[in-house]
Every structure is written in C-alpha cells, then in structure tokens.
Chain A
Amino acid sequence: MVLIKVDYKEKDADRLKLKNGFLCREVAGQWVVVPLGERVVEFNGIMTLSESGALLWRNMDSEVDEEDLVKLVLSEYIIDEDTAREDVREFVVSLKENGLIE
C-alpha cells in the first residue's frame, strides 16, 4: 500500500503541460514549432521536431504524465517499452531544459 501511494505522489508531481503560445506545424514534411506573440521574446527561433517528437508535442496541450506519453508512443510505433520510455524521457528532459514546460 505504502509503495503504491509513493508512486502515485511521484507521478502526480510530474504532471506535464506545455506552455501556451507556440504553433506546431508540418512544413514540407518537417515538423516545426514557432513561438507566437510574447513568446517570441523568450524563444527567438524556430525549433524542429522529429515525427515522434511532434506526436508527443501535440498531445501535451493538456496535462499528461510520462506514462501517458509512453503509452502513446507504444500505440503509434513498433518499438519496445524500454526504448519508448527512454525516448520519452529524453524528449521531456529537453523540453524542460528549454523552458517549454509550465
């Protein structure tokens, strides 16, 4: 029981949501993220995303946690769970490093 509780708390603390003010679009086969309005001051540049990165990004408008994202990747790609978890982790870390998570 105790263990389950701790897990739950950890997950809860790790809810992820993207900051608003970005537009994610496919341009000539390449996924790009452009800042809009006030965000331009903070993020002066255009980010590019891989196809799986774009899939994750587009599902992070509302709150999710890493497990939701792992499930999403597993449902879309033929990939083992460990790799999916690793990829999601890497993506989330890079979002956090770039200050894109609320």
Chain B
Amino acid sequence: MVINKKGRLYNIAGMKIKICSSEFAMFRNLDLFVCEDHSEIMLEMVVKANSKISEPVGFLLINKDVKWVAISEGIYSHSLYFCDEETKTILCRADVNYEWGLAEITYLKNCPQAEGMVAGFLLEIIFRNRIIFNQGVVIHASAVSYKGLGIIFTAPTQTGKSTQAKLWAKHLGAQVLNDDRPVLRLENRRTRVYGTPWSGEKRLFLNKAVELNAIILLEQAKENRLKGLTLSTSCAQILPRCFLPYYDLEIMDKCLKTLGEMLLGVPVYLLECKPDREAVDLVFRAILNRQKYL
C-alpha cells in the first residue's frame, strides 16, 4: 500500500486509526476522536477519489445495500461496495485484508453521497470488524455513563433503549456515550464500554469510556420490575444484539470468546419497564447494591 497522502489519526474506542486522504471534510463526524499519538496504529486506511470505480471480482457473500465480495487473490480478502441501483454506478468501494487492519477506499469523485458513505457506513463496517481482533464487539444498545458506572440498555428495535438512556440523562444527569451502537472491550479481564462516532440518525455520542457495570435487557410492561438473569438465559438474548462476524468461522470464534469472558464478569438484568423515573431508580439501586458486595 502506498501512503503518500496526508494522514490523520483517530482514536476510536481505544483503537488507533490512521486515515490517509487528500480530503478530510468528509471525516467531520470523527472530529471528536482526533488524536496525535502515532504508536500502535491498529487500522490504516487509504482513501482516494476516482471518476470510475470498478466492480470487484470474486464470490458474492452478501447482496444487500452494501454488497460484499470475497476476493481470492492479492493482499485484500474482502471488498465492500455500494452501487446505485438506478444508474448501476458504484459510488464507493472498500478493499480490506483478512484482519481488517488495512483498507483501501475509493469513492466517486464529485459525488457528495459517496463522500458521506466513506466516513459513514464503510468506515463503520471496517471498524466494527477490526475491533473484534482487539477484544471488542459492537452491540446494538444505548450506553450511559453515570458517576463512573457504565450501563447499556439493549433490546430489539423500538423497545425503548434510547428512552431509558434519555431518562437517565434527564433524572440523574447521566451522559449518553452512544445511543445506538457502542463498543464493548475486554481490558485486563474487565469490560469497558466506549462511545463511537456512529450512533444512528440522532448522532448522540461522546468520545468517552467507562467500566461496564450492567447490561439491561428491556421489555415494555405495565409495571416496573427488575430481575437478574442467569448466564444461560442472558447469553441467548445478548448474542443476537451484537454485530457478529457471520462471514468467517475463525473470526466468529474469536468474537464469541471475547463475549463469553465479558458475560462472565458483567451482570445482566431483565428490566420490564415503563418509561418513567421509577425504572431508572430500580436499575440504579440494583447496581449500587451489587457494587457494595464486590
């Protein structure tokens, strides 16, 4: 890979990323995460504009909005691209190596839509897979930090993850680390939860991290009730909420190992709840009580 363009460094969820590009306006969403430290870069990306982007040749793994091709030759093993279905034009393409530590992104010149995709979902997909190699996993959840306590609320879409996080902010003054897709990382056998720049449409995130003290599974109910879950129950509910690497056995294995270690150390609760202050207090008291006995 030839790196002759201007590079910038970002530290996202404790993972350093170097981006080489002649244009940085499109990376404004990452501004909170800029860093100066050149040591231990875990992901290097070269980004360039082109007037035409070729379709990658290989085996089509995923055929959704973002197409995903397995490449058998060269240093890259995967190619992701987005094609405008009407014009059949490829707007952007990312070629990445097996461990997701090297990436080459090409986007269509003079196309604002393509520029938005580079720092948006393309970089997010690369990041989400690279973090697995660094004992991390992205989970579909809303994460809050309050007085050094880290809590994530997770549930199927539309159950009220963001509502609970918002209630914590309103009643206790908690900070929302990421409203939709925070990162969990295993560090010295403890789990930390990190904010990332990708949090859905609301763009609600911080460049902060805190130790994870509880995972709260949510269910809407008429009365508030909190109960601790056994590992076997919680495991079956939490895994589907994580962005798992279904495309590769070895990477999946790595990811499940990390998640297993995390779940052994972090209590999981089921919160049947209404969107009110009582639900907040119930969780807060349970976490405080548990902290007392640690």
A residues 25-67 near B (Cβ < 8 Å) are: 25-30, 32, 34-37, 40, 45-46, 48
The reply to whether B246 and A34 contact each other, CB–CB distance below 8 Å, is yes
Q: How far is the CB of A17 from chain B (nearest CB, A)?
A: 18
The reply to whether B260 and A35 contact each other, CB–CB distance below 8 Å, is no
Q: How far is the CB of B57 from chain A (nearest CB, A)?
A: 19
How many residues of chain B are within 8 Å of chain A by beta carbon? 20
The reply to whether B260 and A26 contact each other, CB–CB distance below 8 Å, is yes
The reply to whether B263 and A27 contact each other, CB–CB distance below 8 Å, is yes
B259-283 interface bits toward A, Cβ cutoff 8 Å, 1 = contact, 0 = none: 1110110000000000000000000
CB contact between A28 and one of B231, B244, B246, B248 (< 8 Å): that residue: B231
A23 close to B (CB within 8 Å): yes
The reply to whether B246 and A27 contact each other, CB–CB distance below 8 Å, is no
B236 close to A (CB within 8 Å): yes
Report the bound CA distance from A25 to B250 in whole Å: 12
CB contact between B259 and one of A27, A35, A48 (< 8 Å): that residue: A27
B125 close to A (CB within 8 Å): no
Report the bound CA distance from A27 to B261 in whole Å: 8
Report the bound CA distance from A73 to B252 in whole Å: 28
Q: How far is the CB of B44 from chain A (nearest CB, A)?
A: 27
Inter-chain contacts of A32 with B (CB < 8 A): 235-236, 239, 256
B232 close to A (CB within 8 Å): yes
Q: How far is the CB of B14 from chain A (nearest CB, A)?
A: 23
> Interface residues of A: mostly helix, strand, loop or mixed?
strand
The reply to whether B264 and A28 contact each other, CB–CB distance below 8 Å, is yes
User: Which residue of chain B lies nearest to A45 when distances are taken between CB atoms in the complex?
Assistant: B240
Inter-chain contacts of A25 with B (CB < 8 A): 253, 256, 260
The reply to whether B236 and A30 contact each other, CB–CB distance below 8 Å, is yes
User: Which residue of chain A lies nearest to B239 when distances are taken between CB atoms in the complex?
Assistant: A46
The reply to whether B247 and A37 contact each other, CB–CB distance below 8 Å, is yes
B25 close to A (CB within 8 Å): no
Q: How far is the CB of B258 from chain A (nearest CB, A)?
A: 10
CB contact between A48 and one of B232, B256, B261, B264 (< 8 Å): that residue: B232
B75 close to A (CB within 8 Å): no
Report the bound CA distance from A40 to B64 in whole Å: 13
B150-185 interface bits toward A, Cβ cutoff 8 Å, 1 = contact, 0 = none: 000000000000000000000000000000000000
The reply to whether B249 and A28 contact each other, CB–CB distance below 8 Å, is no
The reply to whether B232 and A36 contact each other, CB–CB distance below 8 Å, is no
Q: How far is the CB of A16 from chain B (nearest CB, A)?
A: 22
The reply to whether B246 and A37 contact each other, CB–CB distance below 8 Å, is yes
The reply to whether B61 and A34 contact each other, CB–CB distance below 8 Å, is no
CB contact between A34 and one of B231, B252, B263 (< 8 Å): that residue: B252
The reply to whether A36 and B246 contact each other, CB–CB distance below 8 Å, is yes
User: Which residue of chain A lies nearest to B61 when distances are taken between CB atoms in the complex?
Assistant: A37
The reply to whether A36 and B248 contact each other, CB–CB distance below 8 Å, is yes
User: Which residue of chain B lies nearest to A48 when distances are taken between CB atoms in the complex?
Assistant: B236
Q: How far is the CB of B4 from chain A (nearest CB, A)?
A: 37
Inter-chain contacts of A30 with B (CB < 8 A): 231-232, 235-236
The reply to whether A46 and B61 contact each other, CB–CB distance below 8 Å, is no
Considering the complex of A and B, which 9 residue pairs feature the smallest CB-CB distances, nearest first? Answer: A28-B263, A30-B235, A30-B232, A27-B260, A28-B260, A48-B236, A28-B231, A40-B246, A46-B239
- 13 sample A-B contacts, Cβ–Cβ < 8 Å, listed by A number: A23-B256, A25-B253, A28-B231, A28-B261, A30-B236, A32-B239, A32-B256, A34-B252, A34-B256, A36-B246, A36-B252, A37-B61, A46-B240
